[in-house]
């Protein structure tokens, strides 16, 4: 497995692969890899000739006071996990290589960033959009894969690739979970043993809201309240948001309609650790028989 630290060298290598008509699969990460990342490598390996994984803790997507400095890092461990799962190249640049002295450009989006993560972390998606655009220009992938856990980010990346005409297919893989439903995340390492046990409340709350939707609930505020009430059963939790929205636009209608695709989104603090999770639910169509219509007066 090859490790490349300089963007010019990575770009040159990508040009050579493209000239050879090789399909490049790309897995962007901030490192501290886990089995969820491994699943992304394996999935894109199936359709790619060469798999590139980036490890870059992007400073531009962290606001002052967030966990950039203490974000977990272990390159040797990451290298082994990447190789074990079929990665061919690790692109591992330093911040100065990605943002050299005199750097002065930022990519901004006009939609999908005003609510949820965009509201809680106002500068976050500008940093994400900028670094993803840079990485796409450096690696020049045929395919790029992202996990659904960062749901709003996946919408942002799709919009970015569409609007800036990147010739890259965006693949979204399902969230990889622990045995109790907790979404795998590099930040889970921050949790104490007791906090780790408590963190399963996120997935259980999402499941309760999904069950309500499948049982006929369509009122957005009631669906949100189900998640809030479930989360508040855990003493000491701090809720950033627990909301439902249209899965494509993130709009928040009063009532969801049959056939709508709804995303349930949660962000909470357990201790000092901020955790996010989500679940996508297809609102079932209501089947109405002739007898039902007569009884209902339709």
DSSP for 62-112, please give it.
S-TTSSTTTS---HHHHHHHHHHTT--EEE---HHHHS-TT-------SSS
What's the token pair of residue 126? 């500008």
DSSP bridge pairs for 267: 241, 276
What pTM was estimated for this model as a whole?
0.93
Q: Which whole number is the average pLDDT over 72-81?
A: 98
Distance, in Å, from the CA atom of 125 to the CA atom of 112, rounded to the nearest integer, reads 9
pLDDT band at residue 287 under the 50/70/90 scheme: low
pLDDT of the residue at 285: 86
pLDDT at 127 over 80: yes
| CA nearest neighbour of 113 among 253, 246, 250 | 250
Residue 296: pLDDT band by 50, 70, 90 thresholds?
A: very low
Query: What pLDDT digit, counting tens, does each position of 3-28 carry?
Result: 999 999 999 999 999 999 999 999 99
Range 226-236 average pLDDT = 97
What digits encode the pLDDT tens for the residues 134-172?
999 999 999 999 999 999 999 999 999 999 999 999 999
Torsions phi, psi of 243, nearest 5? Answer: -140, 160
167: which 2 tokens?
Answer: 């010739």
Mean pLDDT of 261-283: 98
> Exposure of 26 by Cβ count < 10 A (0-12 exposed, 13-18 middle, 19+ buried)?
buried
Helix (H, G, I), strand (E, B) or coil at 183: strand
Mean pLDDT of the residues in the chain: 95
Per-residue confidence (pLDDT) for residue 16, from 0 to 100? 98
Distances (CA, A) of 260 to 241, 243, 251, 255: 21, 16, 12, 10
The pLDDT of residue 293 is 42
pLDDT above 70 for 295? no
By annotation, the residues acting in catalysis are 37
Read off the pLDDT of each residue in 200-211 and give the average, rounded to a whole number.
98
| Residue limits of CATH 3.40.50.620 in the chain | 2-173
The third-level CATH classification (topology) of the domain covering 2-173 is Rossmann fold (3.40.50)
Identify the CATH number of the domain defined by range 186-280.
3.30.1300.10
Q: Please, where in the chain does CATH 3.30.1300.10 lie?
A: 186-280
Q: Which pLDDT score is estimated for 86? A: 98
Structure tokens at 162: 């569409």
- Distances 276 to 116, 183, 185 between C-alpha atoms, Å: 10, 8, 9
Per residue in 172-193, pLDDT (tens digit) is: 999 999 999 999 999 999 999 9
Residue 271 has pLDDT above 80, yes or no: yes
Say what the pLDDT of residue 270 is. Answer: 98
């Amino acid at each position: 497995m090859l490790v490349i630290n300089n963007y010019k060298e990575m770009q040159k290598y990508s040009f050579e692969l493209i000239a050879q008509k090789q399909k490049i699969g790309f897995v962007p990460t901030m490192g501290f890899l886990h089995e969820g990342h491994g699943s992304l490598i394996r999935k894109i390996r199936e359709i790619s000739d060469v798999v590139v994984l980036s490890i870059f803790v992007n400073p531009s997507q962290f606001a002052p006071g967030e966990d950039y400095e203490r974000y977990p890092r272990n390159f040797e461990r990451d290298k082994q996990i990447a190789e074990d799962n079929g990665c061919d190249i690790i692109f591992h640049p330093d911040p100065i290589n990605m943002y050299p002295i005199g750097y002065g450009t930022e990519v901004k989006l006009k939609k999908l960033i005003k609510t949820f993560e965009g509201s809680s972390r106002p500068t976050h998606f500008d940093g994400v959009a900028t670094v993803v655009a840079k990485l796409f220009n450096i690696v020049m992938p045929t395919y790029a894969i992202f996990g659904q856990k960062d749901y709003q980010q996946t919408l942002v990346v799709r919009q970015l690739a569409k609007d800036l005409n990147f010739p890259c297919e965006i693949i979204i893989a399902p969230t990889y979970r622990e045995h109790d439903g907790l979404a795998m995340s590099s930040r889970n390492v921050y949790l104490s043993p007791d906090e780790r046990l408590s963190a399963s409340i996120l997935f259980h709350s999402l499941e309760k809201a999904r069950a309500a939707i499948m049982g006929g609930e369509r009122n957005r505020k009631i669906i949100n309240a189900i998640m809030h009430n479930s989360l508040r059963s855990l003493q000491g939790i701090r809720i950033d948001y627990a909301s439902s929205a249209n899965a494509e636009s993130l709009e928040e209608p009063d009532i969801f309609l049959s056939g709508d695709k709804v995303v349930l989104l949660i962000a909470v603090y357990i201790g000092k650790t901020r955790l996010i999770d989500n679940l996508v639910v297809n609102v079932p169509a209501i089947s109405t028989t002739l007898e039902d219509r007569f009884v209902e007066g339709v």
